[in-house]
Structure 1
């Protein structure tokens, strides 16, 4: 089995200049845990829900909210993304994908073509849902 057999093909990406309120909205609305960041369509980074939890003030939309809390939303995607994410190609074997996820303790891998355009994404959930077990 290869990446192309299990990847999610309809990937929503954000531009590197997209602001965090929109990034957060896209992730929450779609139930995403990862969002690829692109520049002119090419992958330049990835934002995880953990990145947002770490950076956005927990006081947003609460009684305790202050101006400094709102300032945490004024960042662009390129300011908080993980740069140069590890990627795989459509022909990458699943065993190699699992090895990457375990080796570097990440939970998703963007799938790119030879020019760097995102053509899919694979998370550990995709691997589990396609897993087959042998006796």
Structure 2
């Protein structure tokens, strides 16, 4: 199996959300760009990850109590900080596809932010890894 640098397959145009933004902004970004993971930033530093599943959990609660998500007092009262995963595992651009696959095999999340000198420079998902392995010569 050929090992490729993660920098070759990562998404470099990363959409992210500020920790102080409303949760509805995160959902709108995910819908607009058809993505499932958003790094959460505070003062230029990665502080968490928010997934579409985090928002779906609130959607299920709203459905249960009979409220539309956008109009729900529950949804409007939640912050990104309350929904995000705080302990984020990341890789650097020096990592390989094999290293990313090893991380993914031991965790339940499906995206990894890619950092260089503590700066967010990319994101890689399990789909990116599968695609890389399937397209190897």
Structure 2 length as normaliser, TM-score?
A: 0.85
Aligned-residue CA RMSD (Å):
2.4
Q: 1:69 deviation in Å?
A: 3.0
Alignment CA distance shift 1:9-1:134 (3 Å): closer
Deviation at 1:40, TM superposition (A): 1.0
Aligned length: 131
In the TM superposition, what is the alpha-carbon distance from 1:79 to its structure 2 partner?
A: 1.5
Indicate the residue corresponding to 2:72 in structure 1: 69
**Paired position in structure 2 for 1:38:** 41
Q: What pairs up with 1:103-114 in 2 under 5 angstroms?
A: 103-114=106-117
- The structure with the largest helix share of the pair is 2
Uncovered stretches (5+) of structure 1, i.e. residues with no partner:
none
Q: Secondary structure at the match of 2:133?
A: coil
Q: Does the CA contact (< 8 Å) of 1:9 and 1:119 recur in 2?
A: yes
Does the alignment pair 1:81 with 2:84?
yes
Deviation at residue 107 of structure 1 after TM alignment: 0.8
Residue 50 (str. 1) matches residue 44 (str. 2): no
Unaligned runs of 5+ in 2: none
2:63 corresponds in structure 1 to 59
